[in-house]
Amino acid sequence: MLLPPYDPNLMIEPLSDQEIAGVPGAEDRGCKDIDPVIFSVVYARLEGILSEMTETILTTARNPILYGAKDFTCTVMSPRAEVLSMHDCLPVHVGTMDPALRFLIRAFGEDIHEGDVFVNNAPYAGNAHVGDWTMFAPIFHDGVLVAWAANKCHLLDMGAHIPGSTDAGAKDIYEEAMHFPGVRLCKNHEPIKDLIRFLGYNIRYPEHWHGDFLAQLGSLWTAEKRIKDLCDRFSVDTVKGCFSEALNYGERKMIETIKMLPETSIEVSMTGEVFEDFFPDGVSLKLKLSIKPDEGLIEFDYTDMPDQKEFGYNLTYATARCSALQGTLPILDPDIPTNDGALKRISVKLREGSVAGIPRWPVGTSLATIALCDEVTNLVLKAWAEILPEHAMAGMGEYNAANFVGAGVSEQGEGYVHAFYLAASGGGATSNHDGLPHMFGACIMGNMGYESIEQVEMARPFYVREVCAIADSGGVGTFRGAVGVRHRIQPRHHVLNINYGGSGHTCPAFGIGEGSAGSVADHWVEKASTGEKIMGLKNSGVTDIQADQVWVADTGGGGGNGDPMRRDIDAVINDVHDGFVTCEAAERVYGVSLKVADGKYLLDELKTKKLRGEK
C-alpha cells in the first residue's frame, strides 16, 4: 500500500473494527466476565513479562546507551494499538507507542502474520523521533491475534550526515537520517536478509547496530513466548478479556479521579529557551487546561503555540501529546493504571504547523522527544500548580547539552559515537518532598540510569575527570529542588566532536510560592593542564574538543517549593554535609548558621534563631 508522505489521521484516529477485521481475532476483546483473582494473576504476569523484556535488552545490547543508560522501553499492546501497561518505562517512549502502531496497522491491513516483525522510526508516521527505533511483533495463539509486543530503543546512529540520531540543525527530514514508516523486517521469525544488509550498509558502526537489533528481537520474541504460555494456561478468551478489563479499569479509575477535581479552565504561558536565529527572545509558549469533572475529561489546547521553524526542535504529534501526559500523571492519583484506558481521558488539541503541535511535512523533528518537549511539560506542571498547589511539582531541570552526542576516531583508528549520560538535571520539589535528583528531564523522569564511569572509559577513548553535584543549583524552598550535576570529560589522544541541542540553558525550572527557580544548564571548554576556560558554548551547535582540552557541562537544578526559612534545620545541615548547599547559602537563604569543628558542621543555635526571627 502506497501511503501519502503525510496524513495525520493515519496515526491520530483510533482504529475502527473495520480496519482490523482482516486479521484473525483482532476485533475480539475476549471474555467479559473475568474472575478478579485470575485478572490479578494475568495482569501481574504481564508486568513480569515487561521486566523480562527489559532485562533481555539490558543484558544483550551492544551500546552503552542501552545496557548502561537504559534509553529504551518495552511494552505490550492490544490488537487495537492500546498500551496495556507502562512498567519501568521512559514516559516519552511508551506514551508515543500507540500512534506509531496505528499507522503501521493501517499500512499493512490484512498482511500481518505470525512471525512478522515491523519497524517504525518515522515521526510523520506516528513515531516520536527518528532516533527511536521502534519495533513491533504481533503475538498470535492458534491463529488468533492476542496482542503486540513492542520496544523502542534510542539508537546511536541512523545514517544521518553526522554521527548520532539527534541533530538540532537538521531543518528537514532529508537531513536527519533514514526514516522507516512501518517496514517489515522479519517473516516467519527470520530477519529479511536484504533489508538487514541495506541497514548495515547505511548505518555507521553496523556490528553494534546489528547487536542492538538482535537484542530487540530477543525482547519481542520473549514476550511472544510468555504471552502464548499465558494463553495455554488460561485460554485466549480469558487473557484477552483480562487485557480489555485492564483498559476498562484504567478508564474507570481516571474518570473517578477527574470527577474529584475542580471544574476549571485556565491559560498559562511562559517564555522558553532562547534559540538564536529562530527565537532570539525565547520561545513564547502558551496553553489552555480545562477540567470537566462531569464528563471525566482533562483537555489541553496547544493551538496558540508558535509556528514551526526549520530546525530539529519541532515536536511531533506523538511527543506534543505526550508532553501533556508527562506533566499530568505525576499530579494525579498514583494508583491510576498507566495504560491507554486511563490516558484516553486526557485529550490534547494540536495545531498543524506549530512548533509544539502537528509538524507540517517535511520540517525537522530530530529533537522532538527532549528540549522543547521538556519545556512544554514544565508549562503543563505550571498549569497544575495554579489549580492544585497542594499536589503540584515545581519545574524540572531540562534535557541539556550534557546529555548529547560525541563522536570521533580513537588512537587505534576505531570510529565511535557516544551519547553522554554521566550527569542529569534535577527534579522539582513538591509541597512535601524535595525534588528527586537525576531526573534527566520530563521526557525521562528518572527512569534512565547513569553509565558506569569505568565502563565508559573502557568502551570509549575518554578520561572522565569529574562527576559531581553542583552546590546551590537546586531552587530554594521549604522543600528544595534537586541539584544539577557537572561532568568534565577529556578525549584520550584524539579529537572529540560533540553535537548538542539542549534546552534549560536560558530558561530555568520555575519555583512555586516563595520557592526559587533552579539553576540553568551551561557548558564550556577548558585547557586540561590549567583549568583555564577557553570558550563558552551555546545550547545548540557542533564543537571539536582537542586532546589537551576538557569539555565541562553543568545540568540544571529543579525548582524549589515554599518559604526557605521554614525548611527543616536538620535537612539544611544534611544538604551542607552532602555538598548540595554551601554554608554561605545555608545562612543567607535558609537562615541556618553553621560552624565547622573537627570536620563536622555544627549548628549555631542562637544565630540561627536570630536569622529566622525566632525567640
Instruction: Please give the angle made by the CA atoms of 277, 279 and 282, to the nearest 5 degrees.
Output: 140
> Average pLDDT for residues 304-331, to the nearest whole number?
97
pLDDT for 513-552, tens place per residue? Answer: 999 999 999 999 999 999 999 999 999 999 999 999 999 9
Q: Examine the pLDDT at 2 and tell me if it is beyond 60.
A: no
Q: Examine the pLDDT at 446 and tell me if it is beyond 90.
A: no
For residues 359 and 353, what is the distance between their CA atoms, to the nearest angstrom? Answer: 5
> Average pLDDT for residues 486-511, to the nearest whole number?
97
Give the closest residue to 144 by CA, choosing from 217, 36, 243, 56.
243
Q: Examine the pLDDT at 6 and tell me if it is beyond 90.
A: no
Assign 346 a pLDDT band (cuts: 50, 70, 90).
very high
Assign 355 a pLDDT band (cuts: 50, 70, 90).
very high
Assign 125 a pLDDT band (cuts: 50, 70, 90).
very high
* Residue 357 contacts residue 255 (beta carbons within 8 Å): no
pLDDT at 486: 98
* Residue 273 contacts residue 373 (beta carbons within 8 Å): no
pLDDT at 393: 96
Q: Examine the pLDDT at 453 and tell me if it is beyond 70.
A: yes
| Integer angstrom CA distances of residue 516 from 289, 442, 513 | 24, 19, 8
Point out which residues pair with 356 in neighbouring strands: none
> Average pLDDT for residues 571-588, to the nearest whole number?
97
pLDDT for 55-68, tens place per residue? Answer: 999 999 998 889 98
> Average pLDDT for residues 19-29, to the nearest whole number?
95
pLDDT for 464-479, tens place per residue? Answer: 999 999 999 999 999 9
Please tell me the number of Cα atoms within 13 Å of 525 on its side-chain side. Answer: 16
Give the closest residue to 72 by CA, choosing from 440, 447, 367.
447
Assign 385 a pLDDT band (cuts: 50, 70, 90).
very high
Q: Examine the pLDDT at 571 and tell me if it is beyond 80.
A: yes
pLDDT at 86: 85
pLDDT at 4: 57
Assign 165 a pLDDT band (cuts: 50, 70, 90).
confident
The one-character DSSP state at 331 is T
> Average pLDDT for residues 214-231, to the nearest whole number?
98
Q: What is the pTM of this model?
A: 0.95
541 — alpha (psi -120 to 50), left (phi > 0) or beta?
A: left
Secondary structure string (H, E, C) spanning 261-317: CCCEEEEEEEECCCECCCECCCCEEEEEEEEEHHHCEEEEECCCCCECCCCCCCCCH
pLDDT at 95: 86
For residues 571 and 549, what is the distance between their CA atoms, to the nearest angstrom? Answer: 38
* Residue 140 contacts residue 114 (beta carbons within 8 Å): yes
> Average pLDDT for residues 24-53, to the nearest whole number?
95
φ, ψ at 467 (rounded to 5°):
-135, 120
Q: What percent of the chain has pLDDT over 90?
A: 91
pLDDT at 3: 59
Q: Examine the pLDDT at 1 and tell me if it is beyond 60.
A: no
Q: 72 in helix, strand or coil?
A: strand
pLDDT at 615: 57
Q: 388 in helix, strand or coil?
A: coil
Task: Please write down the long-range contacts of 332-337, taking CB distance under 8 Å and 24 or more positions apart.
Answer: 332/254, 332/257, 333/253, 333/257, 335/253, 336/250, 336/253, 336/254, 336/257, 337/85, 337/246, 337/249, 337/250, 337/253
**What integer best gives the mean pLDDT of the chain?**
95
Q: Prior bond to 437 cis, omega within 30? A: no
pLDDT for 87-123, tens place per residue? Answer: 888 989 988 999 999 999 999 999 999 999 999 999 9
